[in-house]
Structure 1
Amino acid sequence: MKGKVSDEEWQLRIDLAAAYRLVAHYGWDDLIFTHMSVRVPGPEHHFLLNPYNLMFEEVTASSLIKVDLHGNPVEPTPFITNPAGFTIHSAVHMARDDAHAVIHLHTPHGQAVAAHEEGLLPLTQTAMLVGGDLAFHDYEGVATDLEERERIVADLGTRSAMLLRNHGTLTVGETVGEAFIRMYFLERACEAQIYALSAGDKVNNPPQGTPEVAAQQGAVGLKMAAKLLAWPALLRKAYRLDPEFAS
Protein backbone atom coordinates (compact mmCIF):
# COMPACT_ATOMS: atom_id res chain seq x y z
CA MET A 1 0.00 0.00 0.00
CA LYS A 2 2.92 2.36 0.62
CA GLY A 3 3.52 4.43 -2.48
CA LYS A 4 -0.07 3.90 -3.64
CA VAL A 5 -1.51 6.46 -1.21
CA SER A 6 -0.48 9.97 -0.21
CA ASP A 7 2.24 10.47 2.38
CA GLU A 8 -0.38 11.95 4.69
CA GLU A 9 -2.63 8.90 4.41
CA TRP A 10 0.31 6.55 4.91
CA GLN A 11 1.21 8.30 8.17
CA LEU A 12 -2.41 7.98 9.32
CA ARG A 13 -2.26 4.28 8.50
CA ILE A 14 0.89 3.89 10.58
CA ASP A 15 -0.65 5.74 13.52
CA LEU A 16 -3.87 3.71 13.41
CA ALA A 17 -2.08 0.38 12.98
CA ALA A 18 0.13 1.30 15.94
CA ALA A 19 -2.98 2.05 18.00
CA TYR A 20 -4.37 -1.41 17.21
CA ARG A 21 -1.12 -3.07 18.23
CA LEU A 22 -0.93 -1.03 21.44
CA VAL A 23 -4.55 -1.86 22.35
CA ALA A 24 -3.64 -5.53 22.00
CA HIS A 25 -0.47 -5.02 24.03
CA TYR A 26 -2.38 -3.42 26.91
CA GLY A 27 -5.01 -6.18 26.86
CA TRP A 28 -7.86 -3.90 25.82
CA ASP A 29 -8.88 -5.90 22.75
CA ASP A 30 -11.95 -8.13 22.62
CA LEU A 31 -10.88 -10.74 20.06
CA ILE A 32 -11.86 -8.97 16.80
CA PHE A 33 -14.95 -7.19 18.11
CA THR A 34 -13.99 -3.59 18.75
CA HIS A 35 -12.75 -0.95 16.38
CA MET A 36 -10.81 2.25 15.81
CA SER A 37 -10.93 4.56 12.82
CA VAL A 38 -9.34 7.67 11.38
CA ARG A 39 -10.64 10.02 8.71
CA VAL A 40 -8.66 10.31 5.47
CA PRO A 41 -8.22 13.95 4.36
CA GLY A 42 -10.26 14.92 1.32
CA PRO A 43 -13.79 15.86 0.25
CA GLU A 44 -14.91 12.22 -0.04
CA HIS A 45 -15.15 11.73 3.76
CA HIS A 46 -13.46 8.34 3.62
CA PHE A 47 -12.07 6.76 6.76
CA LEU A 48 -9.82 3.82 7.66
CA LEU A 49 -11.20 0.88 9.64
CA ASN A 50 -9.78 -2.45 10.74
CA PRO A 51 -10.32 -5.68 8.79
CA TYR A 52 -13.02 -7.54 10.70
CA ASN A 53 -11.29 -10.92 10.60
CA LEU A 54 -7.85 -9.91 11.90
CA MET A 55 -6.73 -9.94 15.51
CA PHE A 56 -5.45 -6.55 16.61
CA GLU A 57 -1.86 -7.79 16.82
CA GLU A 58 -2.15 -8.73 13.12
CA VAL A 59 -3.30 -5.32 11.85
CA THR A 60 -0.84 -3.50 9.61
CA ALA A 61 -0.87 -0.12 7.90
CA SER A 62 -1.56 -1.78 4.54
CA SER A 63 -4.37 -4.06 5.75
CA LEU A 64 -6.55 -1.20 7.02
CA ILE A 65 -9.67 -0.79 4.89
CA LYS A 66 -10.66 2.57 3.42
CA VAL A 67 -14.47 2.87 3.46
CA ASP A 68 -17.00 5.48 2.44
CA LEU A 69 -19.84 6.82 4.56
CA HIS A 70 -22.01 3.91 3.42
CA GLY A 71 -19.52 1.39 4.76
CA ASN A 72 -18.36 0.26 1.33
CA PRO A 73 -14.65 -0.33 0.66
CA VAL A 74 -13.40 2.23 -1.86
CA GLU A 75 -10.49 0.04 -2.99
CA PRO A 76 -10.25 -3.73 -3.62
CA THR A 77 -9.63 -5.65 -0.41
CA PRO A 78 -9.74 -9.32 0.63
CA PHE A 79 -11.13 -8.28 4.01
CA ILE A 80 -14.57 -7.41 5.38
CA THR A 81 -15.62 -4.63 7.75
CA ASN A 82 -17.56 -4.66 11.01
CA PRO A 83 -21.15 -3.40 10.45
CA ALA A 84 -21.46 -2.17 14.05
CA GLY A 85 -18.09 -0.48 13.72
CA PHE A 86 -19.34 1.33 10.64
CA THR A 87 -22.51 2.50 12.41
CA ILE A 88 -20.77 3.97 15.43
CA HIS A 89 -17.76 5.45 13.66
CA SER A 90 -19.59 6.87 10.65
CA ALA A 91 -22.00 8.62 13.01
CA VAL A 92 -19.20 10.49 14.75
CA HIS A 93 -17.14 11.17 11.63
CA MET A 94 -20.12 12.63 9.76
CA ALA A 95 -21.16 14.91 12.60
CA ARG A 96 -17.89 16.12 14.11
CA ASP A 97 -15.29 17.84 11.93
CA ASP A 98 -12.83 17.68 14.83
CA ALA A 99 -13.30 13.94 15.37
CA HIS A 100 -10.67 12.73 12.93
CA ALA A 101 -10.04 9.61 15.04
CA VAL A 102 -12.52 7.45 16.96
CA ILE A 103 -11.74 4.60 19.37
CA HIS A 104 -14.33 2.20 20.79
CA LEU A 105 -13.50 -0.58 23.28
CA HIS A 106 -15.24 -3.34 25.28
CA THR A 107 -12.86 -3.83 28.21
CA PRO A 108 -14.26 -5.46 31.38
CA HIS A 109 -13.52 -2.34 33.47
CA GLY A 110 -15.03 0.00 30.89
CA GLN A 111 -18.13 -2.15 30.58
CA ALA A 112 -18.47 -2.40 34.35
CA VAL A 113 -18.41 1.37 34.81
CA ALA A 114 -20.72 1.81 31.82
CA ALA A 115 -23.16 -0.51 33.61
CA HIS A 116 -22.87 1.39 36.90
CA GLU A 117 -25.84 3.69 37.57
CA GLU A 118 -23.64 6.69 38.37
CA GLY A 119 -21.12 6.05 35.62
CA LEU A 120 -17.59 7.36 36.18
CA LEU A 121 -17.12 8.70 39.70
CA PRO A 122 -14.55 11.39 40.63
CA LEU A 123 -12.58 9.03 42.85
CA THR A 124 -9.15 9.49 41.26
CA GLN A 125 -7.20 12.25 39.57
CA THR A 126 -7.41 10.29 36.33
CA ALA A 127 -11.21 10.16 36.51
CA MET A 128 -11.40 13.87 37.25
CA LEU A 129 -9.17 14.73 34.29
CA VAL A 130 -11.59 13.09 31.86
CA GLY A 131 -14.88 13.28 33.75
CA GLY A 132 -15.77 16.80 32.69
CA ASP A 133 -15.61 15.79 29.03
CA LEU A 134 -17.67 12.61 29.35
CA ALA A 135 -21.03 11.87 27.69
CA PHE A 136 -23.44 8.92 27.96
CA HIS A 137 -25.46 6.94 25.43
CA ASP A 138 -28.10 4.38 26.43
CA TYR A 139 -27.86 0.85 25.09
CA GLU A 140 -30.04 0.02 22.06
CA GLY A 141 -28.68 -3.40 21.13
CA VAL A 142 -25.80 -4.30 18.80
CA ALA A 143 -25.20 -1.10 16.82
CA THR A 144 -26.31 -2.20 13.35
CA ASP A 145 -29.32 0.15 13.07
CA LEU A 146 -28.21 3.21 11.10
CA GLU A 147 -30.97 5.26 12.72
CA GLU A 148 -29.07 5.02 16.02
CA ARG A 149 -26.38 7.28 14.55
CA GLU A 150 -28.47 10.40 15.18
CA ARG A 151 -28.87 9.50 18.85
CA ILE A 152 -25.17 8.69 19.29
CA VAL A 153 -24.27 12.08 17.83
CA ALA A 154 -26.85 13.92 19.93
CA ASP A 155 -25.64 12.26 23.14
CA LEU A 156 -21.96 12.86 22.36
CA GLY A 157 -22.52 16.54 21.55
CA THR A 158 -19.23 18.43 21.73
CA ARG A 159 -17.61 16.07 24.22
CA SER A 160 -14.63 13.87 23.47
CA ALA A 161 -15.37 10.75 25.54
CA MET A 162 -18.45 8.64 26.05
CA LEU A 163 -19.67 5.72 28.11
CA LEU A 164 -21.89 3.55 25.94
CA ARG A 165 -24.20 2.26 28.66
CA ASN A 166 -23.95 -1.51 29.28
CA HIS A 167 -21.57 -1.66 26.32
CA GLY A 168 -18.18 0.03 26.55
CA THR A 169 -16.12 3.17 26.06
CA LEU A 170 -15.57 5.62 23.21
CA THR A 171 -13.17 8.51 22.66
CA VAL A 172 -12.51 10.92 19.80
CA GLY A 173 -9.59 13.15 18.92
CA GLU A 174 -8.13 15.40 16.27
CA THR A 175 -5.43 12.75 15.88
CA VAL A 176 -5.10 9.04 16.56
CA GLY A 177 -2.70 9.89 19.36
CA GLU A 178 -5.15 12.24 21.04
CA ALA A 179 -7.98 9.69 20.91
CA PHE A 180 -5.64 6.99 22.23
CA ILE A 181 -4.33 9.05 25.16
CA ARG A 182 -7.85 10.06 26.08
CA MET A 183 -8.89 6.40 25.99
CA TYR A 184 -5.88 5.44 28.11
CA PHE A 185 -6.96 7.88 30.81
CA LEU A 186 -10.62 6.80 30.59
CA GLU A 187 -9.76 3.10 30.82
CA ARG A 188 -7.35 3.66 33.72
CA ALA A 189 -10.03 5.67 35.54
CA CYS A 190 -12.58 2.88 35.05
CA GLU A 191 -10.11 0.26 36.27
CA ALA A 192 -9.24 2.28 39.37
CA GLN A 193 -12.94 2.82 40.15
CA ILE A 194 -13.66 -0.90 40.07
CA TYR A 195 -10.70 -1.55 42.39
CA ALA A 196 -11.73 1.24 44.77
CA LEU A 197 -15.35 0.16 45.03
CA SER A 198 -14.43 -3.50 45.44
CA ALA A 199 -12.20 -2.58 48.41
CA GLY A 200 -15.16 -1.38 50.47
CA ASP A 201 -17.64 1.48 50.81
CA LYS A 202 -15.38 3.93 52.65
CA VAL A 203 -14.06 5.79 49.63
CA ASN A 204 -12.55 9.24 50.04
CA ASN A 205 -14.35 11.83 47.93
CA PRO A 206 -12.27 14.79 46.71
CA PRO A 207 -12.84 18.27 48.17
CA GLN A 208 -15.68 20.27 46.65
CA GLY A 209 -14.67 22.05 43.46
CA THR A 210 -11.54 20.01 42.74
CA PRO A 211 -13.12 17.74 40.08
CA GLU A 212 -13.99 20.86 38.08
CA VAL A 213 -10.43 22.20 38.44
CA ALA A 214 -8.95 18.88 37.31
CA ALA A 215 -11.34 18.74 34.34
CA GLN A 216 -10.11 22.13 33.14
CA GLN A 217 -6.51 20.98 33.52
CA GLY A 218 -7.24 17.78 31.62
CA ALA A 219 -8.75 19.64 28.67
CA VAL A 220 -5.36 21.24 28.00
CA GLY A 221 -3.01 18.60 29.34
CA LEU A 222 -4.36 15.62 27.39
CA LYS A 223 -3.91 17.37 24.05
CA MET A 224 -0.34 18.36 24.91
CA ALA A 225 0.47 14.83 26.10
CA ALA A 226 -0.85 13.36 22.89
CA LYS A 227 0.93 15.74 20.55
CA LEU A 228 4.31 16.20 22.19
CA LEU A 229 4.86 13.58 24.88
CA ALA A 230 3.03 10.29 25.30
CA TRP A 231 2.00 9.45 21.70
CA PRO A 232 5.52 9.83 20.25
CA ALA A 233 6.75 7.58 23.06
CA LEU A 234 3.99 5.07 22.35
CA LEU A 235 4.91 5.00 18.65
CA ARG A 236 8.47 4.12 19.61
CA LYS A 237 7.06 1.37 21.83
CA ALA A 238 4.98 -0.01 18.96
CA TYR A 239 8.09 -0.23 16.78
CA ARG A 240 9.95 -2.05 19.56
CA LEU A 241 7.09 -4.52 20.01
CA ASP A 242 6.85 -5.40 16.30
CA PRO A 243 7.89 -3.03 13.48
CA GLU A 244 5.81 -5.07 11.02
CA PHE A 245 2.74 -3.03 11.98
CA ALA A 246 4.13 -0.23 9.77
CA SER A 247 4.22 -2.41 6.66
Structure 2
Amino acid sequence: MPDGMTSDTVGALRRDLAAAYRLIALYGMDDSIYTHVSARLPDGPGGEKRFLLNPYGLRFDEVTPDNLVTVDETGAVVDDPCGAGMNAAGFTIHSAVHMARHDAVCVLHTHTVAGVAVSSVREGLLPLNQWSAQFFGQFAFHDYEGIALNLEERARIVADLGDKRVMLLRNHGTLLLGRSVAEAMKYALNLERSCKAQVAALGMGLTPMVLPDDLAAHTAAQYARAYDKIEQGGERDPEWAAMLRLLDTKLPGWAG
Protein backbone atom coordinates (compact mmCIF):
# COMPACT_ATOMS: atom_id res chain seq x y z
CA MET A 1 0.00 0.00 0.00
CA PRO A 2 1.15 3.57 -0.63
CA ASP A 3 1.92 4.44 3.01
CA GLY A 4 4.76 1.91 2.99
CA MET A 5 6.26 3.04 -0.30
CA THR A 6 9.95 3.71 -0.75
CA SER A 7 11.42 6.11 -3.29
CA ASP A 8 11.91 3.14 -5.63
CA THR A 9 8.27 2.06 -5.39
CA VAL A 10 7.08 5.65 -5.84
CA GLY A 11 9.19 5.75 -9.00
CA ALA A 12 7.57 2.52 -10.17
CA LEU A 13 4.13 4.00 -9.42
CA ARG A 14 4.95 7.04 -11.56
CA ARG A 15 6.07 4.77 -14.37
CA ASP A 16 2.94 2.64 -14.15
CA LEU A 17 0.66 5.68 -14.07
CA ALA A 18 2.37 7.20 -17.10
CA ALA A 19 2.05 3.80 -18.80
CA ALA A 20 -1.70 3.79 -18.14
CA TYR A 21 -2.06 7.19 -19.82
CA ARG A 22 -0.04 6.02 -22.81
CA LEU A 23 -2.03 2.77 -23.09
CA ILE A 24 -5.36 4.60 -22.93
CA ALA A 25 -4.20 6.80 -25.80
CA LEU A 26 -2.83 3.81 -27.72
CA TYR A 27 -6.14 1.94 -27.38
CA GLY A 28 -8.15 5.02 -28.44
CA MET A 29 -9.83 5.41 -25.04
CA ASP A 30 -8.79 9.02 -24.41
CA ASP A 31 -10.92 12.16 -24.83
CA SER A 32 -8.67 14.96 -26.05
CA ILE A 33 -7.07 16.45 -22.88
CA TYR A 34 -9.92 15.36 -20.59
CA THR A 35 -10.52 12.49 -18.14
CA HIS A 36 -7.90 11.25 -15.72
CA VAL A 37 -6.04 8.38 -14.15
CA SER A 38 -4.82 9.14 -10.63
CA ALA A 39 -2.63 7.31 -8.14
CA ARG A 40 -2.42 7.75 -4.39
CA LEU A 41 0.93 8.68 -2.92
CA PRO A 42 2.09 8.35 0.69
CA ASP A 43 0.72 11.07 2.98
CA GLY A 44 2.57 14.36 3.10
CA PRO A 45 4.63 15.52 6.10
CA GLY A 46 1.56 17.05 7.74
CA GLY A 47 -0.61 14.00 7.12
CA GLU A 48 -2.22 15.52 4.03
CA LYS A 49 -3.45 13.11 1.37
CA ARG A 50 -1.66 13.39 -1.95
CA PHE A 51 -2.14 11.92 -5.39
CA LEU A 52 -0.70 12.07 -8.88
CA LEU A 53 -2.65 13.43 -11.84
CA ASN A 54 -1.90 14.35 -15.44
CA PRO A 55 -0.84 17.93 -16.25
CA TYR A 56 -3.79 19.90 -17.63
CA GLY A 57 -3.60 20.47 -21.36
CA LEU A 58 -1.30 17.58 -22.21
CA ARG A 59 -2.55 14.77 -24.39
CA PHE A 60 -2.39 11.33 -22.80
CA ASP A 61 0.37 10.37 -25.24
CA GLU A 62 2.48 13.22 -23.81
CA VAL A 63 2.36 12.07 -20.18
CA THR A 64 5.64 10.82 -18.69
CA PRO A 65 6.63 9.71 -15.19
CA ASP A 66 8.43 13.01 -14.67
CA ASN A 67 5.66 15.45 -15.69
CA LEU A 68 2.88 14.11 -13.46
CA VAL A 69 1.35 16.69 -11.08
CA THR A 70 1.14 16.09 -7.32
CA VAL A 71 -2.05 17.45 -5.70
CA ASP A 72 -3.29 17.32 -2.10
CA GLU A 73 -6.87 16.76 -0.90
CA THR A 74 -7.64 20.50 -0.84
CA GLY A 75 -6.81 20.88 -4.52
CA ALA A 76 -3.49 22.60 -3.82
CA VAL A 77 -0.77 21.73 -6.30
CA VAL A 78 2.25 20.38 -4.43
CA ASP A 79 4.51 19.72 -7.42
CA ASP A 80 3.93 20.76 -11.03
CA PRO A 81 6.95 20.09 -13.28
CA CYS A 82 5.25 21.50 -16.41
CA GLY A 83 3.61 24.49 -14.73
CA ALA A 84 0.37 23.38 -16.39
CA GLY A 85 -1.76 22.86 -13.28
CA MET A 86 -4.52 20.27 -13.17
CA ASN A 87 -8.15 19.97 -14.22
CA ALA A 88 -10.62 21.03 -11.50
CA ALA A 89 -13.23 18.46 -12.51
CA GLY A 90 -10.62 15.72 -12.27
CA PHE A 91 -9.75 16.86 -8.75
CA THR A 92 -13.41 16.76 -7.68
CA ILE A 93 -13.99 13.16 -8.69
CA HIS A 94 -10.63 11.63 -7.94
CA SER A 95 -9.96 13.30 -4.61
CA ALA A 96 -13.37 12.17 -3.36
CA VAL A 97 -12.63 8.56 -4.14
CA HIS A 98 -9.06 8.56 -2.89
CA MET A 99 -10.00 10.15 0.44
CA ALA A 100 -12.80 7.66 1.04
CA ARG A 101 -11.35 4.46 -0.38
CA HIS A 102 -7.90 3.72 0.96
CA ASP A 103 -7.96 0.34 -0.74
CA ALA A 104 -7.74 2.15 -4.09
CA VAL A 105 -4.22 2.97 -5.24
CA CYS A 106 -5.51 3.98 -8.68
CA VAL A 107 -8.72 5.65 -9.88
CA LEU A 108 -9.38 5.60 -13.62
CA HIS A 109 -12.08 7.61 -15.38
CA THR A 110 -12.89 7.55 -19.11
CA HIS A 111 -15.33 9.03 -21.61
CA THR A 112 -15.17 6.44 -24.39
CA VAL A 113 -18.00 6.35 -26.92
CA ALA A 114 -19.01 2.83 -25.89
CA GLY A 115 -18.70 3.59 -22.18
CA VAL A 116 -20.75 6.77 -22.45
CA ALA A 117 -23.34 4.90 -24.52
CA VAL A 118 -23.77 2.17 -21.90
CA SER A 119 -23.84 4.76 -19.09
CA SER A 120 -26.67 6.51 -20.94
CA VAL A 121 -29.15 3.61 -20.85
CA ARG A 122 -31.16 2.60 -17.81
CA GLU A 123 -30.06 -1.05 -17.88
CA GLY A 124 -26.34 -0.25 -17.82
CA LEU A 125 -24.00 -3.12 -18.66
CA LEU A 126 -25.65 -6.49 -19.25
CA PRO A 127 -23.89 -9.86 -18.67
CA LEU A 128 -23.81 -10.77 -22.35
CA ASN A 129 -20.37 -12.37 -22.48
CA GLN A 130 -17.30 -13.38 -20.50
CA TRP A 131 -15.89 -9.84 -20.46
CA SER A 132 -19.03 -8.26 -19.06
CA ALA A 133 -19.70 -11.15 -16.66
CA GLN A 134 -16.52 -10.07 -14.86
CA PHE A 135 -18.43 -7.03 -13.62
CA PHE A 136 -21.66 -8.76 -12.61
CA GLY A 137 -22.91 -7.39 -9.31
CA GLN A 138 -19.93 -5.03 -9.11
CA PHE A 139 -21.47 -1.81 -10.43
CA ALA A 140 -22.37 1.35 -8.56
CA PHE A 141 -24.24 4.22 -10.24
CA HIS A 142 -24.03 7.98 -9.86
CA ASP A 143 -26.53 10.30 -11.52
CA TYR A 144 -25.25 13.11 -13.71
CA GLU A 145 -25.00 16.53 -12.04
CA GLY A 146 -23.25 18.49 -14.80
CA ILE A 147 -19.50 18.95 -15.20
CA ALA A 148 -17.97 17.88 -11.89
CA LEU A 149 -16.86 21.25 -10.52
CA ASN A 150 -18.97 21.33 -7.35
CA LEU A 151 -16.99 20.02 -4.38
CA GLU A 152 -20.27 19.15 -2.63
CA GLU A 153 -20.78 16.43 -5.23
CA ARG A 154 -17.85 14.51 -3.73
CA ALA A 155 -19.94 13.24 -0.82
CA ARG A 156 -22.62 11.98 -3.18
CA ILE A 157 -20.07 10.23 -5.40
CA VAL A 158 -18.59 8.47 -2.37
CA ALA A 159 -22.01 7.50 -1.00
CA ASP A 160 -23.08 6.08 -4.37
CA LEU A 161 -19.80 4.21 -4.84
CA GLY A 162 -19.99 2.44 -1.47
CA ASP A 163 -17.67 -0.57 -1.50
CA LYS A 164 -17.82 -1.15 -5.26
CA ARG A 165 -14.82 -0.93 -7.58
CA VAL A 166 -16.68 -0.01 -10.76
CA MET A 167 -19.11 2.85 -11.27
CA LEU A 168 -21.22 3.98 -14.19
CA LEU A 169 -21.41 7.76 -14.10
CA ARG A 170 -24.84 8.16 -15.68
CA ASN A 171 -24.81 10.01 -19.02
CA HIS A 172 -21.10 10.66 -18.48
CA GLY A 173 -18.74 7.68 -18.52
CA THR A 174 -17.05 5.09 -16.35
CA LEU A 175 -15.01 5.08 -13.14
CA LEU A 176 -12.81 2.21 -11.95
CA LEU A 177 -10.77 1.58 -8.81
CA GLY A 178 -7.68 -0.60 -8.73
CA ARG A 179 -5.47 -1.90 -5.96
CA SER A 180 -2.70 -1.09 -8.41
CA VAL A 181 -2.45 0.87 -11.63
CA ALA A 182 -2.16 -2.43 -13.48
CA GLU A 183 -5.42 -3.75 -12.02
CA ALA A 184 -7.27 -0.54 -12.86
CA MET A 185 -5.96 -0.64 -16.42
CA LYS A 186 -7.03 -4.26 -16.90
CA TYR A 187 -10.49 -3.43 -15.56
CA ALA A 188 -10.66 -0.51 -17.99
CA LEU A 189 -9.74 -2.60 -21.02
CA ASN A 190 -12.22 -5.34 -20.17
CA LEU A 191 -14.97 -2.82 -19.44
CA GLU A 192 -14.33 -1.05 -22.73
CA ARG A 193 -14.52 -4.37 -24.61
CA SER A 194 -17.71 -5.22 -22.72
CA CYS A 195 -19.35 -1.93 -23.65
CA LYS A 196 -18.30 -2.20 -27.29
CA ALA A 197 -19.59 -5.77 -27.46
CA GLN A 198 -22.92 -4.75 -25.94
CA VAL A 199 -23.40 -1.87 -28.37
CA ALA A 200 -22.54 -4.21 -31.27
CA ALA A 201 -24.74 -7.08 -30.08
CA LEU A 202 -27.81 -4.96 -29.40
CA GLY A 203 -27.26 -3.11 -32.66
CA MET A 204 -27.78 -6.31 -34.66
CA GLY A 205 -31.49 -6.24 -33.95
CA LEU A 206 -31.47 -9.90 -32.85
CA THR A 207 -32.32 -11.43 -29.48
CA PRO A 208 -29.54 -10.95 -26.89
CA MET A 209 -28.47 -14.03 -24.92
CA VAL A 210 -28.12 -12.61 -21.40
CA LEU A 211 -26.20 -14.93 -19.08
CA PRO A 212 -28.15 -16.34 -16.09
CA ASP A 213 -27.33 -14.57 -12.82
CA ASP A 214 -25.71 -17.64 -11.25
CA LEU A 215 -23.40 -18.19 -14.22
CA ALA A 216 -22.49 -14.50 -14.41
CA ALA A 217 -21.74 -14.46 -10.67
CA HIS A 218 -19.60 -17.62 -11.02
CA THR A 219 -17.58 -15.98 -13.82
CA ALA A 220 -17.14 -12.77 -11.82
CA ALA A 221 -15.79 -14.83 -8.90
CA GLN A 222 -13.33 -16.58 -11.22
CA TYR A 223 -11.98 -13.22 -12.38
CA ALA A 224 -11.81 -11.96 -8.79
CA ARG A 225 -9.77 -14.96 -7.63
CA ALA A 226 -7.30 -14.50 -10.48
CA TYR A 227 -6.87 -10.80 -9.66
CA ASP A 228 -6.51 -11.54 -5.92
CA LYS A 229 -3.62 -13.91 -6.61
CA ILE A 230 -1.72 -10.98 -8.12
CA GLU A 231 -2.81 -8.15 -5.83
CA GLN A 232 -2.83 -10.08 -2.55
CA GLY A 233 -0.82 -13.20 -3.28
CA GLY A 234 2.10 -11.49 -4.98
CA GLU A 235 1.97 -13.56 -8.16
CA ARG A 236 3.58 -12.15 -11.29
CA ASP A 237 1.28 -10.15 -13.56
CA PRO A 238 2.04 -11.35 -17.11
CA GLU A 239 -0.70 -9.24 -18.71
CA TRP A 240 0.67 -5.97 -17.30
CA ALA A 241 4.20 -6.99 -18.28
CA ALA A 242 2.91 -7.59 -21.82
CA MET A 243 1.30 -4.14 -21.89
CA LEU A 244 4.56 -2.51 -20.83
CA ARG A 245 6.41 -4.42 -23.57
CA LEU A 246 3.82 -3.15 -26.05
CA LEU A 247 4.64 0.42 -25.04
CA ASP A 248 8.37 -0.26 -25.36
CA THR A 249 7.76 -1.57 -28.88
CA LYS A 250 5.29 1.07 -30.07
CA LEU A 251 6.68 4.07 -28.18
CA PRO A 252 10.40 3.66 -27.45
CA GLY A 253 11.52 6.06 -24.76
CA TRP A 254 7.98 6.64 -23.47
CA ALA A 255 9.15 6.49 -19.84
CA GLY A 256 11.74 9.23 -20.29
Given the two structures, how large is their TM-score scaled by the length of structure 1?
A: 0.94
Cα distance in 2 for residues equivalent to 1:141 and 1:207: 35
The answer to whether residue 244 in structure 2 is matched with residue 235 in structure 1 is yes
The answer to whether residue 57 in structure 2 is matched with residue 53 in structure 1 is yes
Residue equivalent to 1:191: 196
Report the Cα offset of residue 202 of structure 1.
Answer: 1.0
Aligned counterpart for 1:117 among listed residues 119, 122, 139: 122
Q: Is the 8 A contact 1:138 1:164 kept in 2?
A: yes
The answer to whether residue 29 in structure 2 is matched with residue 28 in structure 1 is yes
Which piece of structure 1 moves more, 200-209 or 104-113?
A: 200-209
Superposed counterparts of 1:1-247, under 5 Å: 6-42=7-43, 43-77=47-81, 78-224=83-229, 228-247=237-256
Report the RMSD for the aligned CA atoms in angstroms. 1.6
Report the Cα offset of residue 164 of structure 1.
Answer: 0.4
The residue type paired with residue 217 of structure 1 is Q
- SS of the residue 1:28 aligns to: coil
The residue type paired with residue 110 of structure 1 is G
Structure 2: runs of 5+ lacking an equivalent: 1-5
Report the Cα offset of residue 224 of structure 1.
Answer: 4.5
Q: Is the 8 A contact 1:131 1:215 kept in 2?
A: yes
- SS of the residue 1:209 aligns to: helix
Q: Is the 8 A contact 2:69 2:80 kept in 1?
A: no
Which piece of structure 1 moves more, 27-36 or 210-219?
A: 210-219
Greater length-normalized contact order (CA 8 Å, ≥ 6 residues apart) = 1
Q: Is the 8 A contact 1:130 1:185 kept in 2?
A: no
Q: Is the 8 A contact 2:71 2:78 kept in 1?
A: yes
Cα distance in 1 for residues equivalent to 2:246 and 2:93: 29
The residue type paired with residue 27 of structure 1 is G
Given the two structures, how large is their TM-score scaled by the length of structure 2?
A: 0.90
Q: Is the 8 A contact 1:135 1:162 kept in 2?
A: yes
Report the Cα offset of residue 205 of structure 1.
Answer: 2.3
- SS of the residue 1:139 aligns to: coil
Cα distance in 1 for residues equivalent to 2:194 and 2:153: 27
Cα distance in 1 for residues equivalent to 2:80 and 2:194: 40
Report the Cα offset of residue 96 of structure 1.
Answer: 0.4
Report the Cα offset of residue 245 of structure 1.
Answer: 2.6
- SS of the residue 1:12 aligns to: helix
Cα distance in 1 for residues equivalent to 2:245 and 2:157: 34
Cα distance in 1 for residues equivalent to 2:91 and 2:222: 33
Cα distance in 2 for residues equivalent to 1:148 and 1:138: 10
Report the Cα offset of residue 225 of structure 1.
Answer: 6.6
Which piece of structure 1 moves more, 214-223 or 131-140?
A: 214-223
- SS of the residue 2:176 aligns to: strand
Report the Cα offset of residue 228 of structure 1.
Answer: 1.5
Structure 1: runs of 5+ lacking an equivalent: none
Aligned-pair identity (%): 50
Residue equivalent to 2:3: none
Q: Is the 8 A contact 2:70 2:80 kept in 1?
A: no
